[in-house]
Structure 1
């Protein structure tokens, strides 16, 4: 049995190289896996399940082909695609996950997260996150025409880019004490997340027990994925061809 984890692809029409790598990954790597978990920020922006852009339509079709082939699909919201809804899940044949959620990964209790909620030092972002994840705010947004939602998404991306450029690097990384807390709260010894774009495997101690935090990488010059099986886990990367 093989389980794959990816996050932070930020699929966008401005990066056709990443989109081609994504389609190839689904057709080759993911089709040989039993399950694929997408832990947020699959898209650079998702303005609703009625999105009729080429990227949206082709992505849904590719995921549907994958799920129809027998690979289980699981999706988690990120800070860019928090409007992914049940229609998207139904169309792709996948399942939407809560953030956080726990799974039994080959006998090890494993916590899955996008990772943005772990960056508690970035108080400005955490306040924005609370607003964006509000069901009332999302309902009001989804009631607007598609064009208006796309315009707002563009404004949010620009604001995010400007804010990120003015923040210290450590503020945008996870808070170590928060990592320990969530692992304790969920009685897990392994955490898998994305968001920070800092792929690595970190060893730590939680409640006197050895634990691990695995950070998935963002897709840019390389694609990243975590390969898990009964034989172990491996954080892998490959160059993305232009």
Structure 2
């Protein structure tokens, strides 16, 4: 399975986890913002949840460097919401996904978060580790809405509301090196090449390579690139 396919599958699982946790009351928005709000059946609701709907935000990249990933994950989440709603929704409520394309631009990403946060229970998708990190103080401090980043940087760990679904980039890379060692494709004393993107995505993975190399007696030969680079010669 390719990395992009694996991450797309993670995105689908993340949406399911978001809904399960949110409906179980794991989002502070549903319990702290307006604890007196209840629907006709006595079920407590709050920001982003009414008697008829569950509203979730999707902050994605459809026009930037990670557009292929953003489009795939968003289409999968929209299909899931459509099928779930056709089957009666969740607890009689329909799922509403509000999508914003930030084009992997930090200003657009933060602006889109600020726009949607007051009206949604949480975010089923948020592409871009740096962008999530930029708004994390607000997420933890005042919004208290569940955020599932479509990113797996170790820098995002530790927040009670930002939930990284799956192994972080460094752990994935350690596992990859371990596999190569187990398959006898690498041995002590070998050089391990690592081409990585600048930023959290690539640099966190590089940390994994360096750790694994130190443990196995390998030497890491690293080369940094930008997501916009086309010439890899």
TM range (shorter): 0.3 to 0.5
Structure having greater relative contact order (Cα 8 Å, sep ≥ 6): 1
What TM-score do you get using the length of structure 2 for normalisation?
0.33
Larger radius of gyration: 2
Higher normalized strand content (fraction of residues): 1
